[in-house]
Amino acid sequence: MREILSMKNLSVHFPVKGGLPFVKRGVIQAVSDVSLTIMHGETFGIVGESGCGKTTLANAMIGMVKPTAGEVLFNGMNLNELSREDFKKTRRQMQMIFQDPFSSLNPRFNVYQIVSEPMFIRGEDDEETMIDRVVELLELVGLSAEDLYRYPSDFSGGQRQRLGIARSISLNPSFLVCDEPVSALDVSIHAQILNLLVKIQDQMKLTYVFISHNLADVKNICDSMAVMYLGKIMESGNSDAIFKRPLHPYTQALLAAVLDTTFDEKREQIILQGDIPSPINPPAGCRFWQRCPKAMKGCKTIPPEHLEVEEGHSVACHLVNGFPDVPLPDRFDAPMEGATK
């Protein structure tokens, strides 16, 4: 398998605006030191609670947010070093489907205008060609030629999301980021849209990044995944391996919160206390330590390294990897002393 996108030590920080004179302005560390690799044709899941940096990470992947540090390589090309022209060309291969099908479509455009706009911007001006293509796309997503001159307000949430999908694939992209594509939809529509995404991926040989806070969906459709917390990846790798043996206490907590019937084995129940700390002053050591039921003394000050613990499965946790100056305990079976409070 070839690699399509990789990130190396990528960080995105936003300045905190406003404030009073003499008050030090802070930065929001939305994404911190993230490295990952996505292969051609796979579905790569990103999970984590709201505010943990998923959308910012996705925007950095497609070059819509400039990284503060680190780099993004798409088919081997560094996005931030491309000329304007090359970036535009590359960007057409990378598209995004948004969470909210209500606000992501222009209410004053009809279906034809919405779906054909990317082609129009690219320079297509033959109306007949565009109508044919739009009808083809509408049929692919389960709508029809009769819908051509309707407006977004004529459609239900699920249908609008179908429209958003048709628009995003109109330029034949190879890389599609789906940012919580079903979170805003009724549960009954949920599976239909997921099935549609899987069908389109098969037909068009697309690579997906699938962002979600629903672990059951990630389990169903993702080949690989990364679990994020406060801007950092806590655990990543092959999703079967992670669901079979989640190693990070945060992943374990997320899994415990999912209905048991979705997963084969009964798991230890971990209920997280407290809220996510602010990304303005994230904890110095492990970002999760304040909420971690298994935190040890060193977790507060020593940031854990992201290490591969079995093939295709990495985790950033002292409980699993040991502290740098402490001999490694048997990685899976012997929790370090003082681990459980």
- Given a contact cutoff of 8 angstroms between Cβ atoms, the answer to whether 1 and 39 are in contact is yes
Which of 318, 325, 290 has its CA nearest to residue 304?
Answer: 318
Which of 50, 66, 97 has its CA nearest to residue 209?
Answer: 97
Cβ proximity to ligand ADP, 231 vs 322, nearer residue: 231
Cβ neighbours, 10 Å, residue 129: 12
224-229, strands of its sheet edge to edge: 94-97, 175-179, 207-212, 43-47, 224-229, 232-238, 313-315, 307-310
Q: How far is the CB of 59 from ligand ADP (least distance, A)?
A: 8
Cβ proximity to Mg ion, 55 vs 207, nearer residue: 55
DSSP assignments along 126-143, one per residue:
-HHHHHHHHHHHHHHTT-
| # chain residues binding ligand ADP, by CB under 6 A | 12
Q: Is 51 in the site for ligand ADP (CB under 6 A)?
A: yes
Cβ proximity to ligand ADP, 32 vs 116, nearer residue: 32
Q: Is 56 in the site for ligand ADP (CB under 6 A)?
A: yes
Q: Is 52 in the site for ligand ADP (CB under 6 A)?
A: yes
Q: Is 104 in the site for ligand ADP (CB under 6 A)?
A: no
Among the residue ranges 52-60, 80-88, 138-146, 166-174, the one whose residues contact ligand ADP (CB under 6 A): 52-60
Residues that bind Mg ion (CB under 5 A): 54-55
Cβ proximity to Mg ion, 55 vs 212, nearer residue: 55
How far are the Cα atoms of 13, 139, 231, 247 from residue 28, in angstroms, in the given order? Answer: 5, 43, 10, 28
Among the residue ranges 44-52, 192-200, 234-242, 297-305, the one whose residues contact ligand ADP (CB under 6 A): 44-52
Q: How far is the CB of 179 from Mg ion (least distance, A)?
A: 6
Residue with tokens 């939809």: 185
Cβ proximity to Mg ion, 134 vs 234, nearer residue: 234
Among the residue ranges 45-53, 162-170, 246-254, 267-275, the one whose residues contact ligand ADP (CB under 6 A): 45-53
Q: Is 32 in the site for ligand ADP (CB under 6 A)?
A: no
- Given a contact cutoff of 8 angstroms between Cβ atoms, the answer to whether 201 and 223 are in contact is no
- Given a contact cutoff of 8 angstroms between Cβ atoms, the answer to whether 6 and 188 are in contact is no
DSSP-assigned letter for residue 39: E
Cβ proximity to ligand ADP, 159 vs 168, nearer residue: 168
Joined tokens for residue 11: 């960080």
Binding to ligand ADP in span 278-307, by CB under 6 A:
279
Q: Is 30 in the site for ligand ADP (CB under 6 A)?
A: yes
Could you list the residues that contact ligand ADP (CB under 6 A)?
14, 28, 30, 48, 50-56, 279
